Every structure is written in structure tokens, then in C-alpha cells.
Amino acid sequence: MNASKHAGLVLIPAYDAGGLLEGTVREALAQWQPVWVVDDGSTDGSVARLAESFAGESRPRVIALPENRGKGAALRAGAQRALREGYTHALTMDADGQHDAASIPRFMEASRANPDALIMGSPLFSKDAPWSRVWGRKLNIFWTDLETGFCGLGDTLFGFRVYPLGPLCRVMEQMSWGRGFDFDPEVAVRLRWEGLRPRQLETPVRYIPSDSGGISHFHYLRDNALLTWLHFRLLPECILRKTRLFR
């Protein structure tokens, strides 16, 4: 891919993000345009309020899905439309204010210089980050390293990254699962299997407590079960792929 043809946008999947959504979008727009918000069937009015909040100024484009289908499904809808409209790359970030919008230009520049690479965010956690999340991520890193030959994917649960849209859409078409919390690690592993090189860039991450408006849709039992099932699926497939390579 020619770096001169790099055309990137910011994709923000949003589901009941509350009052944090507007601030996240404003911070993203201050760093990069265009910004698209994929409304994954929100019911709290947070996405609907964006039109009023940005009246008379640069505003995000909103893609509305009829019902909540999960982060993977939301990003798939946004990525497919972006590719059809001529965009080549998408930076994805969460709607809950955890990701650092100031890092957007640096990540886009890295993608422009390496258009065929998967630019992965390497999170810098603050001291108030929940220990269970941090150690859970370390366990997930071990499994995805195993599934990709320790190629350096890093923290595949961290969704602040830049995708080349062509490979992303092709891989998502092949995925039967990966619509919820398991999306970020599965798509990263499968893109590596397709030959994309990972490049990690450090970026700060913040955890916003609930009394400051922080919202988490992580469900401990459900989502850990999803991740367990993910690796039960990926590891045998990884072994099968390697067996085919050595025939």
C-alpha cells in the first residue's frame, strides 16, 4: 500500500456511554477529522444528544444500528462503510473516556509511515487501575502470544489501535464470533495470521470511577467466559495452521 494514499478516520463504537461520550468525541475531533460514532443501539440518549451538543460546529458522523449487537458488530458496520467511501485506515477508540485522544496524531502518523502494519496501543496504566484488569490482561497476552508465535502483538484487549481497513474487513467477514468483548483479541490474532505486522506504541489509559461518570459494560463472568472460549477456539486453529505450513 502506498503511504501517500493513506486516508484515515476515527471510529468510536458507543453503547450507553452516558455523559462521557460528548467529551470523548470533542477530544477526538480536536485531534483528527473525520470522527464517526457507531451507535450500537444505545438507549440512554447519549448519542442522540450529540446533534444538539455540536450544533453549528464540526460534528461527528453518527451511524445508528437498530439494536445492541456488541463492539465487534459496531466496528464492522463502521469499517465496511468507511472502506466503501474510500477510507484506507481507521483508528478505533472507546467512548468511555479511557483512551488518550492526544495520541491520535502520533498513531495516525505511524500508520501513514507503515500503512500495511497494525498499529497497536500499548497501555500505560495509572496506579488506580484495578489489579484484576491488569492481571487479566497479562494472562490474555500470554495466550495471544502463544497463538501468534510471540510476534509482539502486546495487549490485545486494548482497543486503541489503527487498522488497515481492507484486511480488517476481510478478516471480520470470516469471523463467526468476536462480536463482543472478545473482538479486540480475536481480530488482532487473525490479522497477524493474515500477515500484518504489529507495531506497538505506548499511550496512557485512565480509569474513570463511577462517581465521576465512569461506565463499564464489562461483565466478569460472561466476558471472562467469552475470552476462555476464544482461546479454546484459536489455539487448535493455530496448531492446525502450523501443521499445514510444514506439510
Taking only the tens place, the pLDDT of each residue in 187-215 is 999 999 999 999 999 999 987 655 555 55
d(CA 104, CA 132): 27
Q: 155 vs 6, 21, 23, 29, 188, CA distance in Å?
A: 25, 24, 25, 26, 10
Taking only the tens place, the pLDDT of each residue in 209-235 is 555 555 555 555 666 677 888 888 898
pLDDT of 247 over the 50 cut: no
Predicted local distance difference test score (pLDDT) of residue 135: 66
Chain mean pLDDT for the chain: 86
Predicted local distance difference test score (pLDDT) of residue 245: 45
Q: Percentage of the chain surpassing pLDDT 90?
A: 57
Q: 87 vs 11, 45, 199, 214, CA distance in Å?
A: 12, 29, 21, 32
- End-to-end, the C-alpha distance of the chain in Å comes to 31
Q: Which domains does the chain have, with CATH numbers?
A: 3-245 (3.90.550.10)
Of 89, 98, 107, nearest to 157 (Cα)? 98
Overall average pLDDT of the 173-177 stretch: 81
